[in-house]
Amino acid sequence: MGENHEFSHIRFLFRLLPDCEHADYDGDGSDEILVSSAWGVGILKLAGGTLQTCMMAPNGTRFGGWVLDTSLNRFGLAGDYDGDGRAETLVTSAWGLALLKLTGGTLDAPMMQPTGTRFGGWLVDGGANRFGPAADYDGDGKVELLVTSAWGIGILKQAGNTMTSSMLAPNGTQLGAWLLDSSCNQFGLAADYDGDGRDEILVTSPWGIGILKLSGDTLGASMLAANGTGLGDWAVDARDEQLLGQAWRTS
């Protein structure tokens, strides 16, 4: 590697670090960092006292059927969607969405579908759907993907080269005692709050706060608290609290 090549890689690294996602992409038990920039995309791995590249690809590269364009593509919500011990990363654009998987020195797209596809009853719109958080909602060891839109909410699960919907609910549905309204509900901070091996979802609105749990093909509310409720010494005000999550829009 010549001097100029080394310098270009250093500039590439420092330019990319602010925009990154970490997960165990190669299944070795250690996380790697997925980074992107106006140039393209890479996966970085800690090796001794430095970072090495597991893969790098410029815009225009084909990952299976997905054409890389970091000016339009949005990466994130990495997780083990197929349960093989290696994380995939979600990529979306107005065209649709895909799950990208590290295979050797490149990425493949084991799941890729365009806008207009139905995942069970969910109509995909890569430009308008809001994705995340991604977590293991049913406890099967595989990550599922929460998705919302102006219509309502769904949980999507990989099924081969497509996805299916584990649950769907339009706005106005009572999820336990929680009234769903995706225009003002904020979803995030998914975790196994009750320790039963299945992740729950924190939801907030101007009304208050709740924890939602997948039960069969619907969501129930494990807990609810209106603004002004005392939780120990903490008074809930969901209009004020900053509850940081993993969800993001594709547009």
The count of structural domains within the chain is: 2
Q: Based on the domain organization, do 97 and 17 belong to the same domain?
A: yes
Residue 119 included in any domain = no
Q: What is the pLDDT of residues 93-104, one digit of tens each?
A: 999 999 999 999
Question: Percent of the chain scored above 90 by pLDDT?
Answer: 79
Final residue in a domain of this structure, among 63, 85, 114: 114
146 shares a domain with 71: no
Domain assignment present for 123: no
Domain boundary (59, 83, 114) is at 114
226 and 153 fall within a common domain:
yes
Same domain, 106 and 143: no
Judge if 110 and 142 occupy the same domain. Answer: no
Whether residue 64 is predicted with pLDDT greater than 70 in this model: the reply is yes
Domain co-membership, 87 together with 149 = no
Same domain for 82 and 26: yes
- Asked if 180 and 141 sit in the same domain, the reply is yes
Instruction: Give the type of residue at 100.
Output: L
Whole-number pLDDT of residue 20: 64
Reported confidence tier of residue 9, pLDDT bands at 50, 70, 90: very low
53 inside domain: yes
Question: What is the arithmetic mean of pLDDT over 162-170?
Answer: 98
157 shares a domain with 89: no
Give the end of a domain, one of 55, 80, 114: 114
Predicted confidence (pLDDT) at residue 157 exceeds the cutoff of 70: yes
Distance (Å, rounded) from C-alpha 247 to C-alpha 167?
A: 18
Do 108 and 1 share a domain, yes or no? yes
**Edge-to-edge, what's the strand order for the sheet holding 218-226?**
186-191, 200-204, 208-215, 218-226
Q: Does 226 lie in the same domain as 171?
A: yes
For the chain, what is the mean pLDDT?
Answer: 88
DSSP lists the bridge partners of residue 160 as none
Q: Is 5 inside a domain boundary?
A: yes
Residue 249, pLDDT above cutoff 70:
no
175, 107: one domain: no
Q: What gap in Å lies between CA 152 and CA 200, rounded to an integer? A: 18
CA distance 187 to 70: 26
- Do the domain assignments include residue 248? no
How far apart, in whole angstroms, are the C-alpha atoms of residue 207 and residue 108? 43
HSE-up (13 A, CA, CB side) for residue 42: 18
- What lies within 8 Å, CB to CB, of 122 at 6+ separation is 147, 154, 156, 165, 168
**Model's pTM, two decimal places?**
0.86
Give the residue, 251 or 201, on which the prediction is more confident.
201
Reported confidence tier of residue 70, pLDDT bands at 50, 70, 90: very high
Domain that residue 50 falls in: 1-114
Residue 137 lies in a domain: yes
Instruction: Output the 3-class SS for the chain.
Output: CCHHHHHHHHHHHHHHCCCEEEECCCCCCCCEEEEECCCEEEEEEEECCEEEEEEEEECCCEECCEECCCCCCEEEEEECCCCCCCCEEEEEECCEEEEEEEECCEEEEEEEEECCCEECCEECCCCCCEEEEEECCCCCCCCEEEEECCCEEEEEEEECCEEEEEEEEECCCEECCEECCCCCCEEEEEECCCCCCCCEEEEECCCEEEEEEEECCEEEEEEEEECCCEECCEECCCCCCCCCCCCEECC
Give per-residue pLDDT as tens, 134-149. 999 999 999 999 999 9
pLDDT for residue 206 = 93
